[in-house]
Amino acid sequence: MSVHATGRAADLSYRHITKHRWGKGRPHAVHVMKWLVKNADVLGVEMILDYMPAPHGRGWRCDRDAWENYKKATVSGAPNGDWIHVEISPKMAKDADAMRAVLESHPLPPMESDGTTVV
């Protein structure tokens, strides 16, 4: 069974943030990924896949607390996929109230006009 089917994963597209598929939407995705990594423990984030970077995308996992640039085809849609994949822990996936409380106490900060993250 896929992680999506268990309710623990979602694909977040930035395709329609602007008219330009890989232009202005990409900084928003990077902004979200930085926030997810910074708050991974409280959000229960276990994995993030970024389909954009050539040649094969990259992934972040909680057990290594680091990004790995893939050296071979690892995720379908990379490179140039205009979405990110996020997986959360079973505990957080089963507790909507806990997830809601964490999101309320750790909101996504606004972006600066130059696309950088405000933290």
Nearest-angstrom CA–CA distance, 9 and 63 = 17
Instruction: List the one residue out of 76, 84, 80, 30 whose CA is nearest residue 55.
Output: 80
The Cα 47–Cα 64 span in angstroms is: 10
Q: What is the pTM of this model?
A: 0.88
pLDDT at 3 (0 to 100): 94
pLDDT by position in tens, the chain (length 119): 789 999 999 999 988 776 555 557 888 899 999 999 999 999 999 999 999 999 999 999 999 999 999 999 999 999 989 999 999 999 999 999 999 999 999 999 988 765 555 44
Residues in the chain: 119
